[in-house]
Structure formats: C-alpha cells, structure tokens
A and B are shown apart, each in its own frame.
Chain A
Amino acid sequence: MSVLERRLLNDFQHDLPLSATPYADIAARLGVSEEEVIETLQRLIEQGVVSRVGAVFKPNRIGASTLAAMAVPEEELEQIAAIVSGYDEVNHNYEREHRFNLWFVATAPDETRLLAVLNEIETRCGIEVLPLPLVKDYHIDLGFELKWS
C-alpha cells in the first residue's frame, strides 16, 4: 500500500475539510494533486477498502434503528441470513459464534416502520427476533487508528 493510500485511510477518517474543495485541501496537505487524491480514493472504494467518503450519523438521532439477534439452527442459517439481508432497512448482518448466531442492524425512518420490519422478519423466518436497541452511547468516535505491519 502506498504512502498516499495509507495517509488517506488513516488521517482523514474525521475532520474532513469542510471547504467547497475538500479533496484539493487534502491534496495540499499531502503535497499531491487533487486528481491523485480523487483517483486514489476511487480506487480504494473499488477495492472495497473504503466504503465511502462521507458522513457517519449518530444512531437514533435520525430515524430509528436497532441491533437485533436471532438463534438460527445451523442448517438454516444461510437461508435465513439471505431473507434478513434482503431488506433494504438492514445495513449490517453478521454470523457470530454464539447460540444467538445471527446479528443484524435495521434502520428505518421511524419506530413504526422499524417494528414492522422486525415483526415481518420474525414471521417469515419463524424464529424469534431479539431487539436490542441502543440505550446509551459511551464511545467517542474518532475513527480507527490503523497500524501497518
């Protein structure tokens, strides 16, 4: 990974310059051209290393969201996971090592729609959905310090 890629990944996870030309500002700080910054970010997105350049919203300040868990029999997991992932409201969906082995996050414009999605998943899958909404956030999000080995 190039020095430019590393610095773009590590140094700009927060405090993106709020100027009309943020990529030119980043370029000036890194001593490269605006085109190089844009092309490199484009490539990192294509490689899947960067999901986007943009805003990370605070959960539950806009719309309604919740983490939810299901205990799915191993042989049904793939099929149930596909049903859950099929919802546009579901943005994360992971298998984890536990009796509760399917964990997903659902986000909707309001509480009513969120509950409707969870109920529909429960009904379609025939497996209880355990909603675990956020009560309090203790984490200060400053991005994630990357270590290069």
Chain B
Amino acid sequence: MVMTRQAMADPLYQGGELDARDLALISIIQRGLPLCSRPYAELGAQIGMSETEVMQRLLRMQEQDYIKRMGVVVRHHELGYRANAMVVWDVPDTQVNELGHCLGRFEFITLCYQRPRRLPDWPYNLFCMIHGQDRDEVLRYIDFVIKRCALHDIRHEVLFSKRRFKQRGAHYHRAAALSK
C-alpha cells in the first residue's frame, strides 16, 4: 500500500499543528523504524495506532516539513569519512542569505546554518559542516567554495573535529511520551 495525496483528504489532517498523537508517534520513531516486515504496524501497536494512521501522520509531517527525510541514517566516521570540519564565516548581515544559499547547495556540505554572533568572543554567523576522507580533502573543498562563492574577503576559521564524545539522534519528546 503506497500512500497518496488522496489519503490526506481526511479533514483530521488539514491543520498544520502537531497534536498529541503526532508527538506520541515522534517519541517512538526517533529511535528508528523497527526492522521487520511491517514496521509501521509494529510502531503503531506500541502506541495504540493503526498502521494506516501511522503512515498518514508520517506523510503529513514530511509534507509539512517537520521531517526532512526518511531513510537510512549513516554515520560518516564509520564509513571512512574520518575528517569533519565545521567552517565558520563572519559574513556581513546583508550578504548572509546569498552566501548561505551558495554554500548550502554543495553535496559535500552536510549542514549550512546562520547562527547569531556572540561578540566579543564569537564573531561568526554562518556555519557549515564539511565531511571528507581526510583533512586535505576537506581543505580542498574549502578552497573550492571560496572560489565558487567569492568568499576571499570573508574571515573564516576551520574547526576540525577531534574526539567524538557522543553522537546519536535527538530525543525530542521523551517527556511527552511518558505522560501519554
């Protein structure tokens, strides 16, 4: 059974807000889909929701952009992408959108966010994450984007990662899950 937009015609699903049932679903899906033949049925069984309702709600959350993507979540480091740098740029406020969009479209850039400056300690307002098989590859990517996005005059720093103390998916609604 593949979900179609027709399945969304139910008036229950027209609103843009998440309700308590969405939050219950989020709280159990964030640790991953079960690896079994009918994973949505299995998830639903844990919270008293039918397979169809689980799928409808997940589809709506994707359409409404709560969910960025559904699929296999890989761990870069274990796959041989040993080098990972957060590159931070001090971009004039009037240029941050333009440069953010320029950086955000490269396939080797896995995150690209505007964040606030914290002066005087922290002058950087544009952050991007670059993964590579080694440091040299990451540095080559940085040179490449400096040319492609004309970042020559933009002050930046490269923060390579060293030890990884913790990495897992976010737990959004633990408290909500427990109370439902």
Cβ–Cβ contact A63 & B166, under 8 A:
no
A94–B79 alpha-carbon span in the complex (Å): 18
Interface size range on B against A: 35 or more
A63–B122 alpha-carbon span in the complex (Å): 26
B20 within 8 A of A: no
Query: In the complex, how many angstroms separate the beta carbon of A133 from the nearest chain B beta carbon?
Result: 7
Query: In the complex, how many angstroms separate the beta carbon of A108 from the nearest chain B beta carbon?
Result: 8
CB contact under 8 A between A15 and B70, given known A21-B37, A55-B29, A134-B113: yes
Task: Point out the residues of chain A lying under 8 angstroms from B38, CB to CB.
Answer: 20-21
- Which chain B residues numbered 17 to 72 have a C-beta less than 8 Å away from chain A? 18, 26, 29-33, 35-41, 51, 55, 58-59, 61-62, 65-72
Query: In the complex, how many angstroms separate the beta carbon of B105 from the nearest chain A beta carbon?
Result: 7
A54 within 8 A of B: yes
Chain A interface, number of residues (Cβ within 8 angstroms): 78
A14 within 8 A of B: yes
A92–B171 alpha-carbon span in the complex (Å): 11
Query: In the complex, how many angstroms separate the beta carbon of B106 from the nearest chain A beta carbon?
Result: 9
A53 within 8 A of B: yes
A61–B67 alpha-carbon span in the complex (Å): 9
B86 within 8 A of A: yes
Q: A48-B75, A56-B73, A138-B97 are in contact. List 4 more A-B contacts (CB 8 A).
A: A18-B62, A45-B32, A62-B26, A144-B107
Q: Which residues of B are interface residues toward A (Cβ below 8 A)?
A: 1-3, 18, 26, 29-33, 35-41, 51, 55, 58-59, 61-62, 65-76, 78-80, 86, 96-97, 100-101, 103-105, 107, 109-116, 118, 121-122, 125, 127-128, 131, 133, 157, 159-176
Q: Which residues of A are interface residues toward B (Cβ below 8 A)?
A: 8-9, 12-24, 34, 38, 41-42, 45, 47-58, 61-63, 65, 67, 69, 81-82, 84-85, 88-98, 100, 103-105, 107, 109, 113, 130, 132-147, 149
